[in-house]
């Protein structure tokens, strides 16, 4: 059986695509080129369907949630707060999995930040 090799892209609607791309670059350090190509560090990727009525994504209208791996969750959240980003107050620790925090981008998409254990 032929299998997928990994995530090839993540595409997101935006009312102002250039501004949203700049936010991801300036706030999260996502240094994609002019075609959106981003050379990320190797690491785990989790693919997990959630129940349709989950509140985990914050808004029921949000159908997917992007999760970024980070080296230091506390430093990333502090950096985002200093830049004026909409950062959730709570974080979550999952034994053996890691720590999680959340930020909402200017288009209202909740993003999960994960510091693996």
Tell me phi and psi for residue 25, to 5 degrees: -70, -50
Average pLDDT along the chain: 94
pLDDT reading at 14 higher than 90: yes
Tokens at 53, concatenated: 């009525």
Q: pLDDT band for position 29 (50/70/90)?
A: very high
| Tokens 């914050």 sit on residue | 58
H-run or E-run covering 93: strand 92-94
CATH number of residue 49's parent domain: 3.30.720.110
* Model confidence, pTM: 0.90
- Determine the structural domain holding residue 83 and report its residue range: 44-116
Closest among 73, 78, 63, 75 to 97, alpha carbons compared? 73
Instruction: Indicate whether 12 belongs to any domain.
Output: no
**Count: domains in the chain:** 1
Instruction: Indicate whether 73 belongs to any domain.
Output: yes
Instruction: Indicate whether 6 belongs to any domain.
Output: no
Instruction: Indicate whether 101 belongs to any domain.
Output: yes
Q: pLDDT band for position 60 (50/70/90)?
A: confident
Interval 92-112: pLDDT, tens: 999 999 999 999 999 999 999
When computed from its CA atoms, the radius of gyration of the chain, rounded to whole angstroms, is 15
């Amino acid at each position: 059986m032929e299998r997928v090799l990994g995530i090839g892209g993540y595409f997101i609607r935006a009312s102002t695509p250039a501004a949203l791309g700049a936010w991801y670059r300036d706030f999260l350090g996502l240094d994609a080129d002019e075609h959106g190509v981003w050379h990320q560090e190797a690491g785990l990727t989790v693919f997990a369907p959630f129940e349709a009525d989950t509140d985990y994504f914050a808004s029921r209208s949000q159908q997917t949630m992007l999760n970024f791996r980070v080296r230091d969750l506390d430093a990333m959240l502090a950096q985002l707060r200093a830049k004026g980003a909409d950062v959730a107050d709570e974080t979550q620790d999952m034994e053996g999995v890691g720590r999680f925090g959340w930020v909402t981008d200017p288009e209202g998409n909740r993003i999960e930040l994960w510091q693996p254990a």
